[in-house]
Amino acid sequence: MFIGHIAVAFGAKKYAPQVSLGVLFLACQLADIIWPNLVLLGIESVTVEPGITAITPLNFIHYPYSHSLIAMTIWALLFAALYVGLQRAGTRVAVVIALVVASHWLLDFVTHRPDMPITFSAATRVGLGLWNYPVAAIVTELSLFAAGIWIYVRQTQAKNRAGSIGLWSLVIFLLVIYGANLAGPPPPSATAVAWSAQAFWLVVAWGFWLDRHRTSRD
Ligand SMILES: [Zn+2]
């Protein structure tokens, strides 16, 4: 899942308006920010196997430190604690941020084939396999994305032209990336996958920038 995760970040703005959209982008994709680096370090592994699911050609062989339920619970608590420590935010904000980080596991659990580890040992791996049902997977992901954007647009308003152009160009950019991933050829290698995943930092930077050009409606 890609834009479905980002939908959670947009929607979370309603529940923690003071938290920058950039922080929420970091939170929703924290697992997929950690993961490519662990792949490049050789600690986690993925291979490209076209046909392994109808949607993604990635075979997630070993990723308990970025994607197990226990690891993501720990990352959620650490990230929320770090934010609260740096920003002196309250409990409500901490809970929202932790839930956004943890939501990544839940959404991946729905989409991935049974490759999502529960613990570090990865003895039990689960997944509902929505990626084997392309139409349902795409409809689910686009619906989530639309709902997230809708909540965000009702919660915030542009302070200036950059605030509206920046938002809608980001929405189009994310949809184009999603479409290109669906329609494009499989990536040439696991290393290529890991490097291209680093492009998410651009979206994070966009979130921080956009947040300064929009304000809460209430
Ligand atoms: Zn993931």
**C-alpha closest to that of 22 among 64, 76, 83, 111:** 83
Interval between CA 66 and ligand 1 midpoint (Å):
8
> What is the 130 CA–ligand 1 centroid distance (Å)?
14
CA 106–ligand 1 middle distance (angstroms)? 10
The string of pLDDT tens digits covering residues 5-40 is 999 999 999 999 999 999 999 999 999 999 999 999
pLDDT at 205: 98
The whole-number pLDDT of residue 54 equals 92
CB 158 within 8 A of CB 214: yes
DSSP at 149 = H
Residue 100 exposed, middle or buried by CB count within 10 Å (0-12, 13-18, 19+): buried
Ligand 1 midpoint to CA 38 (Å): 13
Ligand 1: distance of its center to the CA of 56 in Å? 12
Q: What is the pLDDT of residues 154-169, one digit of tens each?
A: 999 999 999 999 999 9
| Confidence at residue 136, expressed as pLDDT on a 0 to 100 scale | 96
Confidence band, pLDDT 50/70/90 cuts, at residue 1: confident
End-to-end CA distance of the chain: 32
pLDDT of residue 4: 97
* Distance separating alpha carbons of residues 25 and 23, to the nearest angstrom: 5
Tell me, what's the pLDDT at 146? Answer: 98
Going from the Cα of 31 to the center of ligand 1, the distance in angstroms, rounded, reads 6
CA of 34 to the centre of ligand 1 (A): 9
pLDDT in tens, 98-145: 999 999 999 999 999 999 999 999 889 999 999 999 999 999 999 999
Interatomic CA distance for residues 47 and 59, integer angstroms: 5
* Res 128: pLDDT: 96
Q: What's the pLDDT at 218?
A: 75
CA of 35 to the centre of ligand 1 (A): 8
d(CA 1, ligand 1 centre) in Å: 7
Contact 126, 107 (CB under 8 A): no
pTM for the full model? Answer: 0.96
Average pLDDT on 138-153 reads 98
Q: What pLDDT was estimated at residue 89? A: 94
pLDDT tens across 33-80, in order? Answer: 999 999 999 999 999 999 999 999 999 999 999 999 999 999 999 999
